[in-house]
Amino acid sequence: MTSTFERLGAILAKDYRIESETLQLDARLESLGIDSLGAVELLWSVEEAFGIQLPHEPVPLATVGDVVDYIDAQVAAQAIAGSGQVLA
């Protein structure tokens, strides 16, 4: 199964021409040319790719690893919420 990191790398490769082969979890978003405004767009693309809805509140995301953790947490939270709905 493709990891969150790999899927995020694919978005970065497509939208920001960042080579996913050399991408590191501790790479800072700003060093990749993604400032706070760029992060807004990145999270929008993440929502599309992962089929999740992220909270509107801004979250501090400094590194690629932060984004991966954030996605995983949101996917898990929404999976629980979703299964809850199914059970109900």
Which residues contact another protein by CB under 8 A? 15-17, 33, 38, 40-41, 44, 47-48
Identify which of residues 33 and 82 has a Cβ nearer to another protein in the complex: 33
Contact residues for 4 (Cβ-Cβ < 8 A; gap 6+): 68, 71, 72, 75
Identify which of residues 47 and 83 has a Cβ nearer to another protein in the complex: 47
A 10 A CB-CB count for 66 gives 17
Quote the least distance from Cβ 80 to another protein, whole Å.
23
Quote the least distance from Cβ 26 to another protein, whole Å.
22
Contact status, residue 67 vs residue 25, Cβ threshold 8 Å: no
Place of tokens 């700003």: 30
Identify which of residues 3 and 44 has a Cβ nearer to another protein in the complex: 44
